[in-house]
Structures are given as C-alpha cells and as structure tokens.
C-alpha cells in the first residue's frame, strides 16, 4: 500500500473525471439527445447575450415604429415585424429569457423541495410526517394543474411572479410522490440498515445513501418537466394571466399576435418556433439522460 495519500486523492479526482467521460459517452450515443443539447446551449447563449446579438434590442419592450409594421420575413427582419413594427426575432430571443427564467425558478424550487419532502415522507413511511406530507400533496394533485395555476393567477394580480408561484405550487407534489415511492422501497435495503447500524445520522442516510440512488430519475424528470413548465407558463400568459404586454414573453406574444392570423402569420410563427425549439430540446435531452442512467 502506498504511503503517499495525496496520490490517492489525485487518483480519486481522475476516477471522477473518468466517470464523467463515460456518462458523456453514453449520452453522446443518442444523436437526438446531442441535437437537443446543441439546441439548448444555442438558446441559452442567445438568451444570455440577447442585447448584443439581436439586431434591434430596443424592440424587446415598448417600441413603436408604424412605418415598419406588418413586414413579412425579409433580410432585415428574418421573422418579420409585428403590429408596432417591432422585430419578431429580437422579441423571441428576449422571450427565451423569460422561458428559461421560469424553468430555472420553478425547477430550482420544486426539485429540492419536492425531493426533501419525498425523502422525509418515504423514510418515515406510516408516521405523522408521511401523512402530513402526502395529505398535502394529494390535495394539490387532486386539482387539475392548469386549473389550479389559473385560479391562483386570477385571484392574485396577473404578473410573471404570480405565474411562477402558481406553477411552483402545483408542481412540487409530483416530485414528492416520485421520490416518496422510490424512498419507501429503498429504505428497507440492507445498505440502509447497515448505515443505521453504523450509527450514521438520518441526514447522512437520506442525502448520502438514498439520494445518490435517485439522481437519475430526478434529472430525467426535471428535464422532461422543464418542457411542461414552458408550456404551462406560456398557457398562463396566453390567457392573459401571466406576463403582461409589452413583456416579450413567448406565451404573451402568442396571445397578442394570434389575433393577426392568418394574414400576418409570421408574427405567430416566431414565438411558436421558439416554444417548439425549447420544448423539443428539453425532451430530447431528457431521453439522453435516461440512457445515461439506464446504462449504469
């Protein structure tokens, strides 16, 4: 045995890198997933550099230039212009920001909260903790998600923040239920009993023993859910309960522009393509993650 333990630490880093490479290899075998990743990275890059890469950054919000209104797609405006003469492409790129922010905020809250609640309920199955958490989640699950979100948005002031709140509230039970079912079956695995026998703290058992066995399903579900968050968010905006004009939200734009169908079809086409590209990229990546974890 070596006496240089820092060499062991170095070896550990190498092994971690090696595992990442292997995971990437499995992901990359799924060409559609790679395509999804490329679309996603492109969209994220475009959204974060929107001010610099869009031809008319000022068109994102309130801007009026009636001279250029209703222009079909042309070299200056590749997705045409809208009824106020704003460049649709510019607005779609800014719209990605809202969509991505929505995904980030909703999943950023829902995944950790839902996971922790699911772990607790599953680990303490049959106790008060389980009944309280599952009782609460069943109430939320019983109401159709979109209806619940619309109810919240219509009671509160319609804006982006409340739309986020509504989606977050309706989403956490689904994570809790998934993690709950996995935890309640894994908690009787001998390695969990061994961990208890060793005297590990419950938090160690939950987060170091159980959680690593669920990362696959969590990441896959989160990715596939991201597309649903975008669709629900767009739906809320579409019926006028989410982001309000002139916010360049994809759903809001759809609801503003669809009134000009079919004559000015390009206005609707822009945000529609944006939503499709985002949703597609998440779904394709989700399938790729599923492959990565299935191969393990």
Stretch that binds other proteins, among 102-110, 169-177, 212-220, 249-257 (CB under 8 A): 212-220
The site that binds other proteins (CB under 8 A) totals a number of residues, namely 26
Q: Is 9 in the site for other proteins (CB under 8 A)?
A: yes
Output 195 or 234, the one with its CB closest to other proteins. Answer: 195
Q: Is 25 in the site for other proteins (CB under 8 A)?
A: no
Q: Is 68 in the site for other proteins (CB under 8 A)?
A: no
Q: Is 29 in the site for other proteins (CB under 8 A)?
A: no
Q: Is 197 in the site for other proteins (CB under 8 A)?
A: yes
Q: Among candidates 249, 243, 242, 246, which has minimal Cα distance to 153? A: 242
Q: Is 194 in the site for other proteins (CB under 8 A)?
A: yes
Q: Is 204 in the site for other proteins (CB under 8 A)?
A: yes
Q: Is 185 in the site for other proteins (CB under 8 A)?
A: no
Instruction: Figure out which of the listed residues 66, 190, 262, 263 binds other proteins, where binding follows CB under 8 A.
Output: 190
Distance CA 178, CA 38 (A): 29
Instruction: Figure out which of the listed residues 61, 155, 189, 259 binds other proteins, where binding follows CB under 8 A.
Output: 189
Q: Which residues bind other proteins (CB under 8 A)?
A: 1-2, 5-6, 8-9, 11-12, 15, 189-191, 193-200, 204, 208-209, 212-213, 215
């Amino acid at each position: 045995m070596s006496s240089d333990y820092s060499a062991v630490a170095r070896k550990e880093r190498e092994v971690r890198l090696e595992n990442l490479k292997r995971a990437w290899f499995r992901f990359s075998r799924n060409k559609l997933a790679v395509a999804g990743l490329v679309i996603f990275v492109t969209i994220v890059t475009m959204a974060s550099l929107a001010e610099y890469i869009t031809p008319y950054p000022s068109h994102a919000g309130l801007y009026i230039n009636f001279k250029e209104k209703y222009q079909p797609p042309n070299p200056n405006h590749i997705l045409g212009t809208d009824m106020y003469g704003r460049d649709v492409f510019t607005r779609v790129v800014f719209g990605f920001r809202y969509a991505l922010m929505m995904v980030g905020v909703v999943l950023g809250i829902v995944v950790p909260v839902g996971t922790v609640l699911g772990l607790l309920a599953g680990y303490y199955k049959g106790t008060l903790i389980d009944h309280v958490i599952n009782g609460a989640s069943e109430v939320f699950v019983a109401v159709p998600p979109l209806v619940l979100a619309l109810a919240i948005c219509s009671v509160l002031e319609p804006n982006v923040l409340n739309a986020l709140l509504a989606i977050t509230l309706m989403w956490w039970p689904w994570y809790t239920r998934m993690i709950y079912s996995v935890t309640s079956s894994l908690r009787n695995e001998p390695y969990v009993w061994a961990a208890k026998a060793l005297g590990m703290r419950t938090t160690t058992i939950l987060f170091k023993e159980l959680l690593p066995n669920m990362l696959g399903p969590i990441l896959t579900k989160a990715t596939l859910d991201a597309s649903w968050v975008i669709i629900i968010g767009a739906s809320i905006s579409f019926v006028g309960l989410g982001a309000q004009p002139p916010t360049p939200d994809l759903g809001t734009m759809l609801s503003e522009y669809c009134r000009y169908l079919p004559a000015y079809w390009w206005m609707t086409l822009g945000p529609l393509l944006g939503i499709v590209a985002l949703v597609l990229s998440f779904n394709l990546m989700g399938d790729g993650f599923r492959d990565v974890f299935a191969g393990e």
